[in-house]
Amino acid sequence: MASSSDTPPLLFDRTLLRQRRTRAARGYEEFAFLASRAADDLADRLMAVNRTFDRALVIGGAGAVGRAIAARPELASKIGTLIEADISHAMAAKAPGAALVMDEERLPIADEGVDLVISCLSLHWTNDLVGALIQINRALKPDGFFACAMLGGATLTELRQSLMAAEDEIYGQVSARVSPFADTVDLAGLLARAGFAMPVSDVDRLSVRYGNAFVLMRDLRRMGETSVLASRPRTPAHRQFFVKTAQVYSERFAEADGRIPAKFEILHAAGWAPHESQPKPLRPGSAKVRLADALGVKERGAGEKAG
C-alpha cells in the first residue's frame, strides 16, 4: 500500500475553485472579456480545420465557446452534438445548449466517446495537467481533435511582484498569492507527453489598463480567477496589505496617465488523437535530398571556415 508521501502534494484547492466560480457566476458576463476573447480565437482556429465532428465537448468558458460557434454558421454546421461543461453548476448553466457539471481532473467521458474537445480557460487550474490531457486524449476517437486556451506564464506578473513586495515590507515574509502558469514552449511538449500527434502551440498577449489595483483585483474576483493555491495564506490579510499592494503597483508600473497595465497571456495549443492515417516523421537518415542542395548553398565540413 502506498504511503501518503508517495502522493504528490496538491497545488490547487479544487473545492475552493468550484465555490469561487459559483460566486462569480452572477453577473459574470460583464467581466468575461478573457473567456470571450479565448472562445473567439478557438472558434476561428476551428474554422480552419477541414473536418466535421459528430460529438463535441467544451470544458470551461461558461457558454462563451457555444456562443462563438453559434455566431459562425459555417462552423456550427460542422458540429453535431455540442456539450459544454464546467466544474461549477452555475457556470455550466450559462451554456446556450446542452450542459454538464464535471471535474476535468476526473473526466466522465468513455474512451473514444467524442470527436472534438475544446478547453477554454480551464486547464490552468488542474493539479496534474498531463494527467488531464491524457484523459482528454483517451476520450477522443482516433484522429479526433483537441484545442485549448489557458493562461500562461507572464499573466499578472505586475500583480505578482506588487503582492510580494507589499507582503515583504509589512509582514517580513513572502507567500505565493498568484498561481504559477505554464509557458508556451512547455505546452506543445506536454501535449506530446500526453500522446497527442502533431501538437502545436502559440500565444496571444494582451495588456488591460486599470485605474488602480483594487479595480483589477475586483475584476479577477468577478471572473472567478482569484488564487486557489492550496498553500495560500490562511490568515485574512489586513486592508493595509492591499493598500500597500496598490501603492507599489502604481509606483512601479503606472503609465504616464496614472493608469496601471495588467498583462495576460493566453496560451493556445492543439493536437490530434493518434491515427494510422496521420503523417509520420521520416526516419533519421532517410532524406532523399541534401540540405545544402535544398538551400542552394555549398556544403562545408564541420572544421571548415565559412567565407
Among 56-70, 143-157, 160-174, 206-220, the minimum mean pLDDT is found in: 160-174
Give the domain extent around 55. 14-156+180-208+263-275
The structural domain count of the chain equals 1
Residue 182: per-residue pLDDT = 66
Residue 232 lies in a domain: no
Q: Is the pLDDT of residue 131 over 80?
A: yes
Domain-located, residue 109: yes
In a domain, 70, yes or no: yes
Query: Which has more confidence, 170 or 72?
Result: 72
What pLDDT is stored for residue 2 in this prediction? 46
Model confidence at 141: pLDDT above 50: yes
The predicted pLDDT at position 265 comes to 94
Q: Give the residue-averaged pLDDT of 223-245.
A: 84
Q: Is the pLDDT of residue 307 over 60?
A: no
SS3 for the chain is CCCHHHCCCCCECHHHHHHHHHHHCCCHHHHCHHHHHHHHHHHHHHHCCCCCEEEEEEECCCCHHHHHHHCCHHHHCCEEEEEEEECCHHHHCCCCCEEEECCHHHCCCCCCCEEEEEEECCHHHCCCHHHHHHHHHHHEEEEEEEEEEEEECCCCHHHHHHHHHHHHHHHCCCCCCCCCCECHHHHHHHHHHCCCEEEEEEEEEEEEEECCHHHHHHHHHHHCCCCCECCCCCCCCCHHHHHHHHHHHHHHHCCCCCCEEEEEEEEEEEEECCCCCCCCCCCCCCCCCCHHHHHCCCCCCCCCCCC
Instruction: Kindly state the average pLDDT of the residues 189-211.
Output: 94
Q: What is the pLDDT of residue 297?
A: 57
Q: What is the mean pLDDT of residues 65-89?
A: 97
Q: Which residue has the higher pLDDT, 148 or 167?
A: 148
Mean pLDDT score of the chain: 88
Whether 295 is covered by a domain: the verdict is: no
**Residue 1 domain-assigned (yes or no):** no
Output phi, psi for 85, to 5 deg. Answer: -125, 155
Q: What is the pTM of this model?
A: 0.84
Q: Which has the minimum average pLDDT: 121-125, 150-154, 249-253, 263-267?
A: 150-154
- Please state, for a pLDDT cut of 70, what percent of the chain lies above it: 83
Q: Domain holding 143: CATH number?
A: 3.40.50.150
- With cut-offs at 50, 70 and 90, classify the pLDDT of residue 10: confident
* 73 within a domain of the structure (yes/no): yes
Quick one: average pLDDT of 17-28? 95
The pLDDT of residue 70 is 96
Nearest CA to 122 among 133, 112, 111, 113?
Answer: 133
In a domain, 130, yes or no: yes
Contacts 24+ apart (CB under 8 A), 66-74: 66/95, 66/96, 66/97, 67/39, 67/96, 68/36, 68/39, 68/40, 68/42, 68/43, 69/43, 70/96, 71/43, 72/43, 72/47, 74/47
* pLDDT over 60 (residue 304): no
pLDDT digits (tens, 9 = 90+) for 31-44: 999 999 999 999 99
Q: What pLDDT, on the 0 to 100 scale, is given for residue 3? A: 46
Q: Is residue 244 part of a domain?
A: no
